[in-house]
Structure 1
Amino acid sequence: MLALLVLAVFPLQPTQAAASVQFHDLAAAVDFPERIVFTLEVEATQPIQRVELRYRPLLGAVTFVARPRITPAPALSVRYERDMRVNYLPPGIDLTYRWRVVFADGSWVDSPARTLRYLDDRYQWVQRVSGPVELYSAVTDARYIEQALTITTRSIADFSQRFGVELERPVRVLLYPSPEALRSALPLQSEEWIGGLAIPEYWLVLAGIAPGIGAEEEFARILSHEVLHLVIAQATDNPFTMPPAWLDEGLATAYQMANDPRLDAVLERARRSGKLPSLRALGSGFGTDPEAALLGYAASRSVVEYLVATYGEEGVARLLAAYREGVTDDEALERSLGLSVDELDRSWKAWLAERAATQEGSRAAAAVVLGVAALAAVVALWRGSRGSWRYPQATLRSDGHS
Structure 2
Amino acid sequence: MRRVHHLPLGLPLAIGLLLVVALGVAAPVEGFTGFGPMSASEQYGKAITFKVVLPGGAPDRLELLIDFGIDPDGTFVAPVEVAGSAATYTWDASDQYLTPNTPIKYRWRATSGSTVTESAAGSLRYADNRPGLDWHSAQMGDATVHWYGSSEARARRFGDLTGGAVSRAEKVLGHTLDGPVDIFVYVTHDDFFGALGPGAREWTGAATFPGIRTVFMWLGGGSSDYLDRALAHEVTHVVFFDATRNDFHQAPLWLNEGFAVWSEGQNADAQAATVRSEVSTGLISFSAMTDAFPIGARGSALSYAEGTTMVDRIMRMYGDKAMSGIAAAYRTGATDDEALRAGTGVPSAQLFSDYFRSFGAAEPKPVPAASIGPSIVRAGASPATAGQGTSGPNGAPAEPATGQGSLPLAVWAVVGVAIIALALGGLLLVRRQRRQRGDAA
| CA spacing shift, 1:214–1:343, aligned 2, 3 Å | same
Q: Which residue of 1 aligns with 2:376?
A: none
Inter-partner Cα distance in structure 2 for 1:29 and 1:241: 33
| CA spacing shift, 1:346–1:316, aligned 2, 3 Å | same
Q: Which residue of 1 aligns with 2:7?
A: none
What does 1:321-336 align with in structure 2 at a 5 Å threshold? 321-336=328-343
TM-score (norm 1): 0.74
What is the CA deviation profile of residues 236-281 of structure 1, one whole-angstrom value per residue up to 9, with x for unaligned ones? 122112211111111110012598997455333212x242112112
Inter-partner Cα distance in structure 2 for 1:79 and 1:323: 43
| CA spacing shift, 1:31–1:343, aligned 2, 3 Å | same
Q: Which residue of 2 aligns with 1:168?
A: 178
Q: Which residue of 1 aligns with 2:387?
A: none
Inter-partner Cα distance in structure 2 for 1:42 and 1:350: 70
Q: Which residue of 2 aligns with 1:21?
A: 34
Q: Which residue of 2 aligns with 1:40?
A: 52
Q: Which residue of 2 aligns with 1:232?
A: 240
What is the CA deviation profile of residues 359-383 of structure 1, one whole-angstrom value per residue up to 9, with x for unaligned ones? xxxxxxxxxxxxxxxxxxxxxxxxx
Inter-partner Cα distance in structure 2 for 1:251 and 1:47: 55
What does 1:164-313 align with in structure 2 at a 5 Å threshold? 164-210=174-220, 214-215=223-224, 217-257=225-265, 263=271, 266-271=274-279, 273-313=280-320
Matched, 1:59 2:70: yes
CA contact (8 A) 1:85 1:187 kept: no
Cα deviation for residue 58 of structure 1 reads: 4.9
Cα deviation for residue 303 of structure 1 reads: 0.9
Inter-partner Cα distance in structure 2 for 1:187 and 1:224: 23
| CA spacing shift, 1:185–1:47, aligned 2, 3 Å | closer
Q: How many residues align?
A: 329
Cα deviation for residue 136 of structure 1 reads: 2.0
Inter-partner Cα distance in structure 2 for 1:285 and 1:332: 19
Cα deviation for residue 189 of structure 1 reads: 2.6
Higher strand share: 1
What does 1:26-105 align with in structure 2 at a 5 Å threshold? 26-44=38-56, 46-61=57-72, 62-70=74-82, 73=84, 75-76=85-86, 78-103=87-112, 105=113
State the structure with more CA Rg: 2
Secondary structure of residue in 1 paired with 2:77: strand
Q: Which residue of 1 aligns with 2:141?
A: 131
Inter-partner Cα distance in structure 2 for 1:147 and 1:294: 28
Cα deviation for residue 332 of structure 1 reads: 1.9
CA contact (8 A) 2:321 2:343 kept: no
Q: Which residue of 1 aligns with 2:322?
A: 315
Cα deviation for residue 115 of structure 1 reads: 1.6
Inter-partner Cα distance in structure 2 for 1:117 and 1:351: 49
What is the CA deviation profile of residues 76-132 of structure 1, one whole-angstrom value per residue up to 9, with x for unaligned ones? 2x33221224333210122112223333x2434433322212111111211111222
Matched, 1:145 2:180: no
Q: Which residue of 2 aligns with 1:158?
A: 168
Matched to 1:29, the amino acid is: S
Secondary structure of residue in 2 paired with 1:335: helix
Inter-partner Cα distance in structure 2 for 1:239 and 1:60: 11
Q: Which residue of 1 aligns with 2:128?
A: 120
Inter-partner Cα distance in structure 2 for 1:185 and 1:247: 27
What is the CA deviation profile of residues 128-181 of structure 1, one whole-angstrom value per residue up to 9, with x for unaligned ones? 112221222235433212111011221001221233211122222222224543
Inter-partner Cα distance in structure 2 for 1:145 and 1:336: 37
| CA spacing shift, 1:180–1:222, aligned 2, 3 Å | farther
Q: Percent identity of the aligned residues? A: 26
CA contact (8 A) 1:191 1:288 kept: no
What root-mean-square deviation, in Å, do the aligned CA atoms of Structure 1 and Structure 2 show?
2.7
CA contact (8 A) 1:163 1:313 kept: no
Inter-partner Cα distance in structure 1 for 2:249 and 2:182: 24
CA contact (8 A) 2:205 2:220 kept: no
Secondary structure of residue in 2 paired with 1:37: strand
**Highest RCO, 1 vs 2 (Cα 8 Å, sep ≥ 6):** 2
Inter-partner Cα distance in structure 2 for 1:336 and 1:181: 42
Matched to 1:53, the amino acid is: L
What is the CA deviation profile of residues 302-354 of structure 1, one whole-angstrom value per residue up to 9, with x for unaligned ones? 11111122122222222222222222222222233122223222212232349
Q: Which residue of 1 aligns with 2:357?
A: 350
CA contact (8 A) 2:48 2:91 kept: yes
CA contact (8 A) 2:276 2:359 kept: no
TM-score (norm 2): 0.68
Matched to 2:213, the amino acid is: W
| CA spacing shift, 1:293–1:51, aligned 2, 3 Å | same
Q: Which residue of 1 aligns with 2:417?
A: none
Unaligned ranges ≥5, structure 1: 1-17, 355-402
Matched to 2:345, the amino acid is: G
Secondary structure of residue in 2 paired with 1:20: coil
Secondary structure of residue in 2 paired with 1:288: coil
| CA spacing shift, 1:311–1:345, aligned 2, 3 Å | same
Inter-partner Cα distance in structure 1 for 2:327 and 2:58: 57
CA contact (8 A) 1:23 1:43 kept: yes
Inter-partner Cα distance in structure 1 for 2:259 and 2:248: 21
Q: Which residue of 1 aligns with 2:385?
A: none
